[in-house]
Copies of this chain bind each other. A is one copy, B any other.
Amino acid sequence: MIGRTRDPNKAEVGDVRATNLAVVLRCVREQGPCSRADIAAATGLNKTTVSSLVSELLRRRLLRETGTTENRVGRPAIMLALDGASSAAIGIEVNADYLTAVAVDLAGRPVLSWRRAFPGNTVSPARTVTAVTALIRRVVTRIEHDGRQVLGLGVALPGLVDPDGRARLVPSLNWRNVDFAAELVDALRGPGFPVEIGNDANYAVLAEHRFGEHAGTRDLVYLTGGTSLGAGLLVDGSLRRGHSGYSGEAGHIPVPAPGGTAPLETVASITAIARRVLPDDTRDDEHLSLAEIELRIDEIVARARAGDPTTLTRLHDAAKDLATGIFTLVSVLDPARVILGGYYAELAPWLLPVVNDLLDTRGIPADEPIAVASTLSLDAPALGAAARVLDAVEQGRLPDNTTPARALAAAARAPR
């Protein structure tokens, strides 16, 4: 794949270089530490070419030499690994209760993971921009203090985001048409690295694709949500946002309900499940904070673990509705796995058997269960935002290593 130039997909000779640099990077990540000769064998690239590519990646500090093999016939090989000390990708998540910031190195290893309370739902977008900007600055300072270059930044929002970074609709933050990307870049005064805004479920599925138990699987559906229920869709290895960015609205899938049909999220979203399993709880569940959701999940888990029959029956009923929705998703998309993420993961022990049973009963062929629980924590969206940055690098958009980040900042401001 090339396609780095903006024009209608024309290719230049330089694109070959970018593509092959990315091929080498991916090869080193997938195969672990390996020699130039290994890379040549694995990729089909000529030894000479690999040497040239590797020396450029060494110069750019994306690879490093880790020593030589010993006790082998022939000349010892110089082993290469991703340089985990020279750079970092940043992922941020904004939601109704808190801000999360994570950073990972080029190999995906965690560099930092912060969380602070922030009432995103009771604060204006402008103040949120200020808070997020301050957080980003602290993260960047920390990262650069460690001698790392910032590869890029992704920000996850729990709502609808345009490809150009406008937040079209974020119910839990009471946002509508907030040009978050532009305001953020403005507030950062030319960050000097790429900034992207995205949907939390979409980023989460990218996190699963890179860090999850089924990393590398090219067809995934990731379910998450609180009052709503959204899906991140990974098809053929890429995120699919749909024609208008509305794809994955799994919560709107009609499922049978007493007296006809109801949107899936009214019977099987996290808050809906909580309402069904804990009906004695009379608090208004339309505007539950995440903290309140967590309390309820904990209570459900406690009761279920204790074997409370009412809880188990009600959970089973809710699971059957969720299973119907998942069966629909599988019928349409045929993913390799459907991942129960977010708060669903904590309920997975009681949900998964029902879901996989229904999929099996209805004849979905599978060697192993299709529905699985996410093993990533609630950091998944932020992790995914960072993963997106790493994906970009591994697609050939290498960081600009020639100019210091600060000089770039000025240049970035001019065209705006």
Contact = CB atoms under 8 A, between A and B. Distances in A.
Interface in A314-334: 324, 327-329, 331-334
Given A2-B1, A16-B2, A254-B328, A334 B249 contact: yes
Interface stretch (A136-144, A183-191, A234-242, A275-283): A234-242
Contacts of A44: 5-8, 10
A335 B242 CA distance: 6
Contact of A249 (B19, B26, B248, B331): B331
A216 interface: no
4 shortest interchain CB distances as A-B pairs: A242-B334, A7-B44, A11-B19, A2-B2
Nearest to A251: B331
A45 interface: yes
Contacts of A11: 1-2, 15-16, 19-20, 23
Given A2-B1, A2-B15, A332-B253, A23 B43 contact: no
Contacts of A26: 8
A13 B10 contact: no
Given A8-B27, A16-B16, A19-B10, A332 B254 contact: no
A71 interface: no
Interface residues of A, number: 61
Given A15-B11, A16-B16, A332-B248, A256 B253 contact: no
A349 interface: no
Contacts of A260: 256
A16 B12 contact: yes
A20 B10 contact: yes
Contacts of A42: 8
21 contacts: A2-B3, A8-B26, A9-B19, A10-B19, A10-B20, A10-B44, A11-B19, A11-B20, A16-B16, A235-B235, A235-B242, A242-B333, A242-B335, A247-B334, A248-B334, A249-B331, A250-B331, A253-B328, A255-B261, A332-B333, A333-B333
A231 interface: yes
Contacts of A233: 332
Contacts of A238: 236
A9 B261 CA distance: 47
A362 interface: yes
B13 A13 contact: yes
A244 B15 contact: no
A255 B253 contact: no
A336 interface: yes
Nearest to A30: B8
Contacts of A200: none
A240 B236 contact: yes
A127 B155 CA distance: 59
Contacts of A10: 19-20, 23, 43-45
B362 A252 contact: yes
A254 B324 contact: yes
A326 to B, nearest CB: 11
Interface string A281-313: 000000000000000000000000000000000
